[in-house]
Amino acid sequence: MQLDPHWQSLIDYDQRHIWHPYSASPNPTAPIGVTATQGSRLTLANGWQVVDGMSSWWAAIHGYNHPTIMQAMKNQIDTMPHIMFGGLTHEPAIELAKRLIALTPDGLEKVFFADSGSVAMEVAIKIALQYWISQGKTQKTQMLSIRQGYHGDTFATMAVCDPINGMHHLFNEVLRPSLFAPAPQMGFGIDGDNQDIAELEKILQQHHPQIAALTLEPIVQGAGGMRFYRPAYLKAARELCTQYNVLMIADEIATGFGRTGKLFACEWAKITPDIMTLGKALTGGNLTLAAVLCTDQISDTLCLGKPGVLMHGPTFMANPLACATAIASIDLLLASPWQTHIADIEQHLLTELMPLQALDGVAEVRVLGAIGVVELEKTDLGPKIQAAALEAGAWVRPFGKLIYTMPAFNIPAGELHQLTNAIKVAIQSSLCA
């Protein structure tokens, strides 16, 4: 990448001093400088303009710098960017809570605002544990999760990520051991043989007196493998949790706010989890904010025990600027024809990416809602494909064998074409080389 001296020195400094997600330091790979964003376009430090295929990891569902959201953020900055939430409250938090309670599955009535997805999952796990402690059921301390899952990078969440490919097996000795059910059979539209459900039931049957909660990502397993599974599994998991007196934590941090074609992926199975986590697209990708919702029954029970309060409270809890941004993003989403946008993106991804399945070296192509995944047979082509896609005008960030895209819902048709074209060209050239 050709850079002017100013940018070259910035990148050199970055490589020597700054950690990036899952990076080494000093960093052998030069990160790519970005100077501006607009809609679904990124301007890079070398002057290139490319189409964004990642929505900054599921988050920027309206593209970047949307004027409505920018205005809401400016208004909030001028009034009250931040105030502590201990003993105080404000309209952005209250208005956002109203929306989340109204939009999420029936029965979720309580909201806890956290700073990031991982922290939201920590709080969800803590709520589940404290729920049982409050009732004196102190043996219910284990978490059950499903393989190929991903729930975050902090310690309690690492323990419920896939134990092998969940990026955290390094820490197995210090993590609290969790139970794992096999991953659901792959395929959203399949008629499964239900062996996966039977395996889940076997574990619940055997261990339910020790299990506090089941954690899962509804319908789409994200960073643990970009796998889609059928609503029948999710529905069965809900029923089994009720039957065996185990709480269900639905992690909608990646799937929430329309990505799969439903506002929340739980709607595919028409279920209400006991606890739900939201993050990523909550602010339309503009600021970090996450939320944990739970039922009245959970909060009432938890608060009956000692000490009678939920033992968590981040410094920047319910940051007003982030809450105002989330309100603007949600209102914008609901006022837009988002279902049509997602159906159009889904159709386009199916038409353009499915044919890649015929290529030697491509294991599978799958599409659900505004998510397209090309799974390769080999894991080491990612950097090459990323570079080739950039040359062809699109930013994607492959992960192992997975080349995937989740564009903004309002991406213009021409840019969506440029994106899928770049993905195709990059995969074809890298597989043939």
Ligand X SMILES: *Cc1c(COP(=O)(O)O)cnc(C)c1O
**In the complex, minimum distance from the CB of residue 146 to ligand X, in angstroms, rounded to a whole number:** 12
Determine how many CB atoms are found less than 10 A away from the CB of residue 378.
Answer: 12
**In the complex, minimum distance from the CB of residue 292 to ligand X, in angstroms, rounded to a whole number:** 12
Structure tokens at 275: 């606890």
User: Considering only 148-156, 166-174, 348-356, 361-369, which stretch makes contact with ligand X by CB under 6 A?
Assistant: 148-156
Contact 384, 430 (CB under 8 A): yes
The number of residues in the chain equals: 433
User: Considering only 111-119, 237-245, 326-334, 422-430, which stretch makes contact with ligand X by CB under 6 A?
Assistant: 111-119
Task: Please give the residue whose beta carbon sits closest to ligand X in the complex.
Answer: 117
Residue 55 makes contact with ligand X by CB under 6 A: no
Helix axes 320-335, 67-79, angle to 10 degrees: 150
Candidates 116, 295, 418, 430: give the one binding ligand X (CB under 6 A).
116
The reply to whether 22 belongs to the active site is yes
Residue 233 or 244: the one with the smaller Cβ distance to ligand X is 233
Q: Interior CA angle at 91 toward 265 and 66, to 5°?
A: 60
What are the C-alpha distances in Å from 379 to residues 155, 178, 223, 285, 362? 27, 28, 15, 28, 11
Residue 220 or 374: the one with the smaller Cβ distance to ligand X is 220
Residue 152 makes contact with ligand X by CB under 6 A: yes
Residue 166 makes contact with ligand X by CB under 6 A: no
Residue 256 makes contact with ligand X by CB under 6 A: no
User: Considering only 147-155, 235-243, 318-326, 401-409, which stretch makes contact with ligand X by CB under 6 A?
Assistant: 147-155
**In the complex, minimum distance from the CB of residue 117 to ligand X, in angstroms, rounded to a whole number:** 2
Gap between the Cα atoms of 122 and 292, Å rounded: 10
Residue 368 or 388: the one with the smaller Cβ distance to ligand X is 368
The reply to whether 251 belongs to the active site is yes
Taking alpha carbons only, the member of 421, 285, 327, 354 closest to residue 97 is 327
**In the complex, minimum distance from the CB of residue 82 to ligand X, in angstroms, rounded to a whole number:** 19
Contacting ligand X within 267-326 (CB under 6 A): 279-280
**In the complex, minimum distance from the CB of residue 151 to ligand X, in angstroms, rounded to a whole number:** 5
Residue 223 makes contact with ligand X by CB under 6 A: yes
**In the complex, minimum distance from the CB of residue 277 to ligand X, in angstroms, rounded to a whole number:** 7
Catalytic entry in 22, 306, 360, 380: 22
Structure tokens at 394: 């699109």
Helix axes 413-432, 338-353, angle to 10 degrees: 30
Catalytic entry in 150, 233, 244, 404: 150
Coil/strand/helix, residue 251 = strand
Q: Produce one character per residue of 196-206: b if its CB has 16 or more CB atoms within 10 Å, e if not.
A: bbeebbebbee
Taking alpha carbons only, the member of 424, 373, 378 closest to residue 254 is 373
Residue 93 or 124: the one with the smaller Cβ distance to ligand X is 124
Gap between the Cα atoms of 399 and 175, Å rounded: 24
Catalytic entry in 110, 140, 262, 280: 280
**In the complex, minimum distance from the CB of residue 354 to ligand X, in angstroms, rounded to a whole number:** 25
The reply to whether 280 belongs to the active site is yes
Residue 398 makes contact with ligand X by CB under 6 A: no
Catalytic entry in 162, 196, 251, 274: 251
Candidates 39, 92, 105, 117: give the one binding ligand X (CB under 6 A).
117
Contact 204, 244 (CB under 8 A): yes
Q: Which contacts (CB < 8 Å, 24+ apart) does range 136-140 have?
A: 136/305, 139/209, 139/210, 140/209, 140/210, 140/211, 140/212
Contact 320, 97 (CB under 8 A): no
Q: Would you name the residues annotated as active-site residues?
A: 22, 150, 251, 280
Q: Which residues bind ligand X (CB under 6 A)?
A: 116-118, 121, 150-152, 217, 222-223, 251, 253-254, 279-280
